[in-house]
Amino acid sequence: MTSQNPVFIPGPTNIPEILRKAVDMPTIDHRSPVFGKILHPALEGVKKVLKTTEGQVFVFPSTGTGGWETAISNTLSPGDKILATRNGMFSHRWIDMCQRHGLDVEVVTQEWGEGVPADRFEEILTADKAHQIKAVLATHNETATGVKSDIAAVRRALDAAGHPALLFVDGVSSIGSMDFRMDEWGVDIAITGSQKGFMLPPGLAIIGFSPKAMAAVETAKLPRTFFDIRDMAKGYAANGFPYTPPVGLLNGLNLSTQMLLEEGLENVFARHHRIAEGVRKAVSAWGLQLCATRPELYSDSVSAIRVPEGFDANKVVSHALESYGVAFGTGLGDVAGKVFRIGHLGSLTDVMALSGIATAEMVMADLGLPVTLGSGVAAAQEHYRKSATAIEKAA
């Protein structure tokens, strides 16, 4: 596989050269004040990206999965009841982690391709008069199916039920790419990682805690050591970590948040939306369907594309890699073999997206699928040039 081609997997994403350089650092003494000059601006930058002024941010040497564990182990106790929906591989794995931690998960099963059922959540929360449910889990962007859920609606469901449960949101493949508002949506814990919207190598779990979530830390009884945010907070107060910090990645995070904020979060979201729309126009030009069932569920960071019945979608992914050196995402879990995924988040331009669309077209034609070469590319080109004109007019 050539490193000249961009990747079209939904994380890890393409790393801009400037961030690769920022991550590549000589060793510094992480117990010296120099480290604080990297750490604190990075944490402040993340707060802005999460759109929180009230929350506290913690960064661990880990991945998004470690972020899930940070959320539950710091705030919950064995046997606590939580409410979650299973609508894809990532929500499935988070539920599995909760169960392995001895939590009692009420699972609302959804078709893969559907979102978090806020109305069903409201019914369940309203019926829970004794407030036994301690936390509600929501995956903002289900990366396995390309489905975006409405987190504001989940907050409204909690409020309508007058329910005090904490709201935990997995924003691993949305934060930094799609609109996310921690304070406004009343998100108690927001979770992400370094290798998706932040355009960095994997290696960081990035988590925001609301004041309410911070208060729950004092009474939570699940065991925690590595992910104990009280130790981490003490470390930060002394310009350090409770253990050796991943200095290069934190230096990258500092720069990455600056880049996102300089582009402007709303511009970053608009860019992701425009690129995603181009991909979706291509998909319909190919006569194919997305796994996401309705336009309001369409993700701007990843598209899961259904292949014709009886065809193995994994072939698209393996042929793209073998013949063209391009990486697409495979189908996971229930949709394995039924979909392939085009990741379109992070450091990406219209022009890069066109190369991915063109490659997918060649691959499908090679494999005998009824796709006309150029059809998807033309549909995306038309979208990108129209929207480029619109941008010029607005300027």
100 in a known ligand binding site: no
293, 391 Cβ separation under 8 angstroms: no
Binding flag, residue 343, ligand PLP (CB under 6 A): no
Strand order in the sheet with 289-290: 289-290, 302-306, 339-343
> Cβ–Cβ contacts within 10 Å for residue 321, how many?
14
Window 181 to 220, contacts with ligand PLP (CB under 6 A): 193
Is residue 170 part of the contact set for ligand PLP (CB under 6 A)? yes
Both tokens of 154, joined, read 């989940």
The reply to whether 143 sits near ligand PLP by the rule CB under 6 A is: yes
Confirm or reject binding of residue 115 to ligand PLP (CB under 6 A): no
Between 178 and 354, whose beta carbon lies closer to ligand PLP?
178
Judged by CB under 6 A, the residue of 75, 149, 173, 177 near ligand PLP is 173
Identity of the residue, 94 or 324, whose beta carbon is nearer to ligand PLP in the bound complex: 94
CB-nearer residue toward ligand PLP: 75 or 139: 139
Q: Please state the closest distance from residue 390 (CB atom) to ligand PLP, in A.
A: 30
Least Å distance between CB 196 and ligand PLP? 6
Secondary structure class of 194 (helix, strand, coil): coil
Q: Which stretch binds ligand PLP (CB under 6 A): 58-66, 98-106, 159-167, 324-332?
A: 58-66
Among 6, 11, 113, 197, binds ligand PLP (CB under 6 A): 11
Residue 110 half-sphere exposure toward CB, CA atoms < 13 A? 26
For residue 8, give the nearest of 363, 367, 379 by alpha carbon.
363
Instruction: Show the tokens assigned to 157.
Output: 């469901």
Q: Which part of the chain contacts ligand PLP (CB under 6 A), choosing from 166-174, 259-267, 283-291, 377-385?
A: 166-174
Q: What is the dihedral of CA 139, 268, 252, 192, to 10 degrees?
A: -10
**Count of all residues that appear for the chain in the document:** 395
Among 46, 172, 189, 249, binds ligand PLP (CB under 6 A): 172
Measured from the CB atom, the residue of 64 and 186 that comes closer to ligand PLP is 64
Exposure string of 229-257, with b = 16+ CB inside 10 Å and e = fewer, is beebeebbeebbbbeebbbbbbbbbbbbb
| Shortest reach from residue 173's CB to ligand PLP, in Å | 4
Helix (DSSP H) and strand (DSSP E) numbers for the chain = 13, 12
For residues 101 and 222, the answer to whether their CB atoms sit within 8 Å is yes
Q: Which of 13, 52, 63, 110 binds ligand PLP (CB under 6 A)?
A: 63
User: Which range of residues in 40-48, 76-84, 137-145, 206-214 is near ligand PLP by CB under 6 A?
Assistant: 137-145
CA distance 224 to 298: 36
Output 68 or 384, the one with its CB closest to ligand PLP: 68
Distance of closest approach, residue 143 Cβ to ligand PLP, in angstroms: 3
Among 75, 139, 251, 330, binds ligand PLP (CB under 6 A): 139
Residue from 6, 45, 55, 64 that binds ligand PLP (CB under 6 A)? Answer: 64
Is residue 179 near ligand PLP by the rule CB under 6 A? no
Query: According to the binding rule CB under 6 A, does residue 346 interact with ligand PLP?
Result: no
Going by C-alpha positions, the residue among 124, 64, 131, 58 that lies closest to residue 94 is: 64
Instruction: Give yes or no for residue 75 binding ligand PLP (CB under 6 A).
Output: no
Give the closest residue to 80 by CA, choosing from 72, 71, 70, 69: 72
The residue at minimum Cβ distance from ligand PLP is 64
Decide if 193 contacts 252 (C-beta within 8 A).
no
The verdict on 299 binding ligand PLP (CB under 6 A) reads no
List phi, psi (to 5°) of 224.
-155, 140
Contact (Cβ atoms closer than 8 angstroms) between residue 206 and residue 50 = no
Does position 177 interact with ligand PLP (CB under 6 A)? The reply is: no
Annotated binding site: 341
Binding site residues for substrate, as ranges? 341
Q: Applying CB under 6 A, which residues contact ligand PLP?
A: 11, 63-65, 90, 139, 141, 143, 170, 172-173, 193
